[in-house]
Amino acid sequence: MTTTIALITGANKGIGLATARQLGARGMTVLVGARDAARGREAADKLRAEGVDARFVPLEVTDAASIAAAAELVEREYSHLDVLVNNAGIVRADGAGLPSQTTLDTLREVYETNVFGVVAVTNALLPLLRRAPAARIVNVSSEVGSIAVMTDPQGALFALTSVPYPSSKTALNMITAMYAKELRDTPIKVNAANPGYCATDLNHHSGFRTPEEGAEVSVHLATLPADAPSGLLWGYQMDAGGGYGVLPW
Ligand SMILES: NC(=O)c1ccc[n+]([C@@H]2O[C@H](COP(=O)([O-])OP(=O)(O)OC[C@H]3O[C@@H](n4cnc5c(N)ncnc54)[C@H](OP(=O)(O)O)[C@@H]3O)[C@@H](O)[C@H]2O)c1
């Protein structure tokens, strides 16, 4: 039997850790991507104690050398990759979160991780994903990246005005759609996940969903069958009263 290999970036805590746990429970070997060795090892140890075949992989998504080393490790040890979950992400805002208060330093910092990091990691691992029988790429995005959701005057998110994080996820949505187009004649599916508002360090635990519930979305997209769609933003639908489905771009 061939082992299914999944790499999750930012998997030492929050939704990423829960995603690693759930993919591991499905029998996958999970590579716990983390930028901090102590935090990454601790997370992998915890998962192994729970019976998951987990291994820490050093991965700072803004660092080209770190990405190259992670790709080399996967190639050397496993020779292919079945699932890539681009989960690592950060939130930053200036002042009261108004566009007019946005600094380029903050914008660059957020884009380095949430946008450039995803492209760099995906491109480094794509040759290994192509070697898998039917790889899945999951880009962990957000409903705040949906222009349709954010500009709906009746929607719950209409009051939000911050530029760096929402626009980084809008860029990620487009990136997802473009990779899906490039890979449409392959068995690889590329989708963007909306975990919903989950209580994690990212939002000082203010979310109303659990990280485990958020991870369900990434796991669903990471395990799509052959006849499932590619190039969608899929997940928790707050404005539709909860439940899962396709969100508008
Ligand atoms: N929580 C929500 O409500 C929510 C909603 C929609 C989308 N999301 C998305 O879900 C994903 C996970 O977020 P979360 O809520 O689980 O947040 P979290 O608990 O803060 O976890 C973020 C993870 O990303 C890692 N990370 C950040 N920058 C990194 C970098 N440059 N290189 C490698 N790893 C990096 C963090 O590592 P360290 O521990 O070393 O900082 C951590 O493991 C993010 O993409 C976020 O935008 C979250």
pLDDT in tens, 60-100: 999 999 999 999 999 999 999 999 999 999 999 999 999 99
pLDDT at position 1: 53
Q: Kindly state if the Cβ of 113 falls inside 6 Å of ligand 1.
A: yes
Q: For the chain, what is the mean pLDDT?
A: 97
pLDDT at 241: 80
CB 197 near ligand 1, within 6 Å: yes
Judge whether residue 248 has pLDDT over 70.
Answer: yes
pLDDT exceeds cutoff 90 at 147: yes
Measured in angstroms, how far is the CA atom of residue 209 from the centroid of ligand 1?
A: 15
Ligand 1 center–CA 114 separation, angstroms: 9
- CB distance 139 to ligand 1 below 6 Å: no
Q: What is the CATH number of domain 5-247?
A: 3.40.50.720
What does the pLDDT look like over 117-138, one tens digit per residue?
999 999 999 999 999 999 999 9
Just list the catalytic residues.
165, 169
| Segment 20-44 mean pLDDT | 98
Which pLDDT tens digit goes with each residue over 157-209? 999 999 999 999 999 999 999 999 999 999 999 999 999 999 999 999 999 99
Query: Which residues in 63-222 belong to E strands, given as ranges?
Result: 83-86, 136-140, 189-194
pLDDT band at 242 (very low <50, low <70, confident <90, very high): confident
Q: Is the CB of residue 164 below 6 angstroms from any atom belonging to ligand 1?
A: no
Position 32 pLDDT exceeds 80: yes
Domain boundaries defined on the chain:
5-247
Residue-level pLDDT at 239: 78
Q: DSSP for 58-89?
A: E--TT-HHHHHHHHHHHHHHHS--SEEEE---
What is the spatial distance between Cα 118 and Cα 207, in angstroms, rounded to a whole number? 24
Residue nearest to atom 17 of ligand 1 (CA): 202
Report how far ligand 1's centroid is from the alpha carbon of 113 (Å). 10
Residue 89 buriedness (CB in 10 A; 0-12 / 13-18 / 19+): buried
The DSSP code for 134 is S
The whole-angstrom separation of Cα 170 and Cα 187 is: 25
- Please identify, by atom number, the ligand 1 atom nearest to the C-alpha of residue 117: 31
The protein residue whose alpha carbon is closest to atom 19 in ligand 1 is 14
According to DSSP, the residues that pair with 194 across neighbouring strands are 235
pLDDT at 146 over 60: yes
Q: Which helix (H) or strand (E) holds 179?
A: helix 164-182
**Ligand 1 pocket residue status of 12, Cβ below 6 Å:** yes
Does residue 39 line the site of ligand 1, with CB under 6 A? yes
Ligand 1 centre to CA of 218 (Å) is 13
